[in-house]
Structure 1
Amino acid sequence: MSATMIKEFRLPDLGEGLTESEILSWKVSVGDTVSLNQVIAEVETAKAVVELPSPFAGVIKELHEQPGTVVEVGKPIVSFEVADDAGPSVSEPSAPSAPGSSSAAPAEGEQPAAQKRQPNLVGYGAVVESSGRPARRPRTLAPAGGPAASQPPVLEPVGTKPAETPPGDTGPAERPRSTPPVRKLAKDRGIDLALVPGTGPRGLITREDVQEFVRHGAVPPEGERPAAGAAAGAAAPGERETRTPIKGVRKHTAAAMVSSAFTAPHATEFLTVDVTPTMELLATLKETSAFSGLKLTPLTLAAKAVLVALRRNPSLNSHWDGERQEIVTYNYVNLGIAAATPRGLTVPNIKDADAMTLDQLAGALAALAETARAGKTLPADLSGGTISITNIGVFGIDAGTPILNPGEAAILAMGAVRSMPWEYRGEVALRQVMTLSLSFDHRLVDGEQGSRFLADVGAILAEPGMVLTMV
């Protein structure tokens, strides 16, 4: 019988230097046998909800933290009992070392530490190749129309992952099949998904199933209800107020907005534009084979207009580096799109959007929206933006004064497209009109530069053919 040893798994940096994460749920229990890359926990950072894959194959010895606990990066969260002859193919991640620290050189035939360290972005996992050596496979999204991205490690399908084993059971229970937003909804309502009948394909539990469960007054047993305050927005009958802990995305958003509002001197300008030609172009494009199957919206064409206008007004695509006392002007555009999700406001961005064709941009916007709604946006996609767009028009709002995404020079708000009486060729006609609101950092962008950029975006949306005079 081979000897065993205890391995600790410390909470890794899930991307972009985040210092803490909240344990949302454990997908395993003490005594469960897990395989390499099996999802063992779901955690929430300040930017995203992510799944943690197991760095070891072995038995769960101890869960160091309970769901709902905020844990600092580098602290142990789970211990494994693994075979002593498993070798060093996968080792636990350690807390980030101080700059300039040194380590001993690996012995001959031993893997370098960089190859043994657990990758710090979720979606990366240690995948054992046929040679027995681990290989990293990043989970990335391929640009629309581009080559296929590397696929993430193959995990056990939802529904076969072990759930917590009740006392007295001889084996793990099957995890109810559902999607992340549905699991979040059930958690907020204090509902055990194991009690909810699934009406979706192959028994999938849908949002409607959870809502129907609530409508019929079904509640979980007393012992299975979440602790007071655990579910955001949950209030007991008769309570006059509800207190929700400030954490996760809401905490990050609040800190970022306060920092931005009181660091960068905001200026906001407005422009109301007749976008009838743009709406007509949109209808025409939807009927062409080149855009078949793609979701085209006013946001798609507005995003393209912003990318074109930035070529003529690069100061809007810049950053104020206070430490070095430099203005950094980007020669690429990572276009941020503000997204309202069940977890709060996020601003994922499309990398190198300026290099995309219109159909590629449409595909990237659709993928971004779908991923954000599912709560699966990667931390790397929430950082590195250079300029942002927020589409407040989808809520029926005409104009606003958007706050800059921290570190960016400008943000454009798109208002609702409305049919209004408008002067057209010397007469009053019913036209489709939109108001654009541009906020910019007045340290980086002068009034003239901001005005020219906004005028260029408006000119393109008022007459898409104007692009030919700008490129």
Structure 2
Amino acid sequence: MTASTANAQRFREFKMPDVGEGLTEAEILKWYVKPGDTVTDGQVVCEVETAKAAVELPIPYDGVVHELTFGEGVTVDVGTAIISVDTDPGAGPAPAPATVQTPPEAAKAEEEAEPQGRQAVLVGYGAAPSSTKRRARKPQAGVPAQPEPVSAALQAELNGRTAPAPAAPVTPVANGAGVGAVGRPLAKPPVRKLAKDLGIDLATVVPSGPDGIITREDVHAAAAPAAAPAPAAAAVAPAPVAPAETGVVNAAARERRVPVKGVRKATAQAMVSSAFTAPHVTEFITVDVTRTMKLVQELKQDPDMAGLRVNPLLLVARAFLVAIKRHPEVNASWDEAQQEIVYKDYVNLGIAAATPRGLIVPNIKDAGVKTLPQLAEELGDLVATAREGKTSPAAMTGGTVTITNVGVFGVDTGTPILNPGESAILAFGAVKLQPWVHKGKVKARQVTTLALSFDHRLIDGELGSKLLADIAAVLERPKRLITWG
């Protein structure tokens, strides 16, 4: 057995898995372990965010963590090694970890900051020192040779300035603790990014890490006093110029930019794809749901519903399922590749849920065959899991129809966009007391507006109208849950 084969068996790499269906990348949100920690098979080592959800990843090996290939906040392609484990730590000292792949944005910043070559000041960050020098340009006849200019970005960093400085040659200094080959403070790319975001000059930060490395804590400590206004700085800061004097408003200073990634990126792409692929039709109906709201209160006292979350959304979901049972041809999907309509004998009912990471649509599998208590239990679990950010990718695949409850925000109704691959989506608006003609008299009744969007390739106007009318009929007289169900 060769040494390389032995090392491959001893040091096992865990690669970013496809935790969904065909996902290509995931962002590392948090590491729960560090190099030197002992791990066991099945232990959760990190949390990642895919285009669908946040997922915890377990390690499939026993041993000691040898290396974390990527830091937190880095997006990694599926199939790329993210952690290595020494499965035989008693076999002798482990070799130094291999070079960590720097995130593209950090690598670009490194290249821009060090145009004359980079030094590997940290294990896994940056490149090895370069022994080559840029050849001096051949001077033109009669023109004396000029020294190579240093980039404005590097000069600004070396001088601790934020404004561009005149170009000047840089003389490499001896490498000492906390200082790189060109007098550059030692810090990992994520720490450099943190300092940049906080407006901290790394040259002014006192390092506390090994070999003079600046840590995140050092940057935060330097930022704390910087947060308080300093009189001296205020004295030299230029006075703001009123827009009226210049005619220009500095809008960039009052804007925030957030990268589009993860769940929000996937939602945006899906909605654009759905809006411009499936021909949407939306119909509306306003209905008296006074009897349904009364039934909700009665069910809350029912022993069979004890401990379950009973609310109007539960009965709207049941009404939707009853209407689909009466019109099963609405439960279908369009297969563009095969030019076929796929009719489904099951209903996976999606519930749109707003989370801190964006809108997700987990679904209740086989919702059409569940009893009301079972539906209430699964609906409660679905909402609770979504709020905790623990919804699995599997729970968000295979949906057939969806409900979005815009009424919880006090909104009367809206024009919902289909979840990709689904045939219909129902928007449930706010329930409000409104004047309503009831038994020949105008009375205050509890009223809501429903909006149904559907794929016009699958559902024509007649079928869509019948489906929406049946949903309204059940909510107006909920005893139809028995006679129709």
TM-score of Structure 1 vs Structure 2, range by shorter chain: 0.5 to 0.7
Query: Residues of 1 paired with 2:42 and 2:259: CA distance?
Result: 32
Query: Residues of 1 paired with 2:321 and 2:88: CA distance?
Result: 55
Does structure 1 residue 223 correspond to structure 2 residue 219? yes
- CA deviations on 1:308-362 (whole Å, 9 max, x unpaired) are 1001112321100011111011101100000001111000000011111001101
Query: Residues of 1 paired with 2:461 and 2:414: CA distance?
Result: 18
- How far does residue 467 in structure 1 lie from its aligned partner after superposition? 3.0
Query: Residues of 2 paired with 1:467 and 1:33: CA distance?
Result: 56
Pick aligned residue for 2:85 from 80, 94, 99: 80
- How far does residue 226 in structure 1 lie from its aligned partner after superposition? 13
Pick aligned residue for 1:328 from 342, 354, 363: 342
Q: Alpha carbon RMSD of aligned pairs, Å?
A: 2.3
Work out whether residues 352 and 359 of structure 2, in 8 Å CA contact, stay in contact via their aligned partners in 1.
Answer: yes
Query: Residues of 1 paired with 2:292 and 2:276: CA distance?
Result: 36
Match of 1:426 in 2: 440
Query: Residues of 1 paired with 2:30 and 2:89: CA distance?
Result: 29
- CA deviations on 1:255-305 (whole Å, 9 max, x unpaired) are 000000000000000000000010111111111111111110100000000
Query: For 1:12-411, what aligned pairs fall within 5 Å after superposition?
Result: 12-83=17-88, 221-224=217-220, 239-411=253-425
Return the index of the structure with the highest Cα Rg.
2
Pick aligned residue for 1:460 from 455, 471, 474: 474
Work out whether residues 316 and 387 of structure 1, in 8 Å CA contact, stay in contact via their aligned partners in 2.
Answer: no
Ranges in structure 2 where 5+ consecutive residues have no aligned partner: 1-5, 92-196, 199-215, 224-251
- How far does residue 396 in structure 1 lie from its aligned partner after superposition? 0.3
What's the secondary structure of 2:87's corresponding residue?
strand
* Higher-helix-fraction structure: 2
- CA deviations on 1:426-465 (whole Å, 9 max, x unpaired) are 0000000010000000000000000000000000000011
- How far does residue 34 in structure 1 lie from its aligned partner after superposition? 1.2
Return the letter of the residue paired with 1:223.
Answer: V
Work out whether residues 421 and 430 of structure 1, in 8 Å CA contact, stay in contact via their aligned partners in 2.
Answer: yes
Match of 2:456 in 1: 442
Query: Residues of 2 paired with 1:288 and 1:25: CA distance?
Result: 44
Query: Residues of 1 paired with 2:48 and 2:275: CA distance?
Result: 29
Return the letter of the residue paired with 1:356.
Answer: K
Query: Residues of 2 paired with 1:246 and 1:51: CA distance?
Result: 21
Distance change (3 Å), C-alpha of 1:42 and 1:349: same
- How far does residue 38 in structure 1 lie from its aligned partner after superposition? 1.5
Question: How many residues in Structure 1 have an aligned counterpart in Structure 2?
Answer: 329
What's the secondary structure of 1:278's corresponding residue?
helix
Pick aligned residue for 2:428 from 402, 408, 414: 414
What's the secondary structure of 1:390's corresponding residue?
strand
Q: What percent of counterpart residues are identical?
A: 58
Work out whether residues 331 and 344 of structure 2, in 8 Å CA contact, stay in contact via their aligned partners in 1.
Answer: yes
Query: Residues of 2 paired with 1:5 and 1:401: CA distance?
Result: 57
Match of 2:208 in 1: none
Ranges in structure 1 where 5+ consecutive residues have no aligned partner: 87-188, 191-219, 228-237
Query: Residues of 1 paired with 2:426 and 2:222: CA distance?
Result: 41
Runs of 4+ in 1 over 3 A off after TM superposition: 224-227
TM-score (norm 2): 0.65
What's the secondary structure of 1:403's corresponding residue?
coil
Work out whether residues 403 and 427 of structure 2, in 8 Å CA contact, stay in contact via their aligned partners in 1.
Answer: yes
Work out whether residues 260 and 406 of structure 1, in 8 Å CA contact, stay in contact via their aligned partners in 2.
Answer: yes
Query: Residues of 2 paired with 1:331 and 1:226: CA distance?
Result: 62
Distance change (3 Å), C-alpha of 1:384 and 1:10: same
What's the secondary structure of 2:314's corresponding residue?
helix
What's the secondary structure of 2:260's corresponding residue?
coil
